[in-house]
Copies of this chain bind each other. A is one copy, B any other.
Amino acid sequence: MLTRQEVRDAQARAAAVLADAGMVLTAAERAEIEVADFGLSRLEEIGLEVVVYVNTERVCAKELVLFPRQTCPEHRHPPHGASPGKEETFRCRQGTVYLYTEGEPTPNPACRAPGDDPSAFTVWREVVLRPGEQHTIAPNTLHWFQAGDEGAIVSEFSTTSTDELDVFTDPRIGRATVVQDE
C-alpha cells in the first residue's frame, strides 16, 4: 500500500530520471507513470516505475525506471488462451541492471535477495546489462531484476502485457498497487 503522496513523489522522481536521460514524455504520460509496490509496502527496496508507451493486442513497449538497488520481484508470464505467455526483451538504457533468470546459478552474484523473504527469489543465473545491452526472456520463465547503485532505465519490448496474469514467487504479492486515501 502506498499513499497518494508516495505515488506522486515516485512519479516525479521517475519522470526526472527520464528527463535527465533525454527521454521525453508527454504531460499525460508523466501523470500516468505506474508506481508498483507489488503490495509489499517497501517501494524503495521492491518496486518499479513504469511508463507504458503502447499495449495493443499484439505488442507492448514500456520504459522501466528503477531507483538505486530497487528490485522487480521474481515472477513469470504463464501461457494463457492461445498465447504461450508474454515474451519480453529488456534493453538497458542507463545505469546497470542485474537480471536473474532460470539456469545454472551464478557463483557470487552481485545482488542479494531484497525484502524479508529470501525464499521468494529462487533463480540466480545472473545477466548483467549495461547501457546498450539487452536480454530476451522466453515466456513462462522465472526472472527478477535489480538496479545497481545508480538506478537504471530499461526499455521493455514485448508481446501484449497482461500484468494481472503474472505469477509471482512471493505469494503475498499483488500486482496492482493499492493506493491509500489520505
- Please tell me the number of chain A residues within 8 Å of chain B, measured between CB atoms: 28
A157 to B53, CA, bound (A): 9
A56 to B84, CA, bound (A): 14
> Nearest chain-B residue to A155 (Cβ)?
B61
How many copies the complex holds: the figure is 2
Among A22, A59, A61, A91, the most chain B Cβ lie within 10 Å of the Cβ of A59
A158 to B53, CA, bound (A): 12
Interface flag for A41 (CB, 8 Å): no
- A22-B22, A53-B157 are known contacts. Are A59 and B89 too (CB-CB below 8 A)? yes
- A59-B159, A159-B59 are known contacts. Are A89 and B53 too (CB-CB below 8 A)? yes
Interface flag for A29 (CB, 8 Å): yes
Interface flag for A3 (CB, 8 Å): no
**In the complex, how many angstroms separate the beta carbon of A132 from the nearest chain B beta carbon?**
4
Which A positions have Cβ atoms within 8 angstroms of B? 21-26, 29, 53-54, 56, 58-61, 87, 89, 91, 93-94, 131-134, 136, 155, 157-159
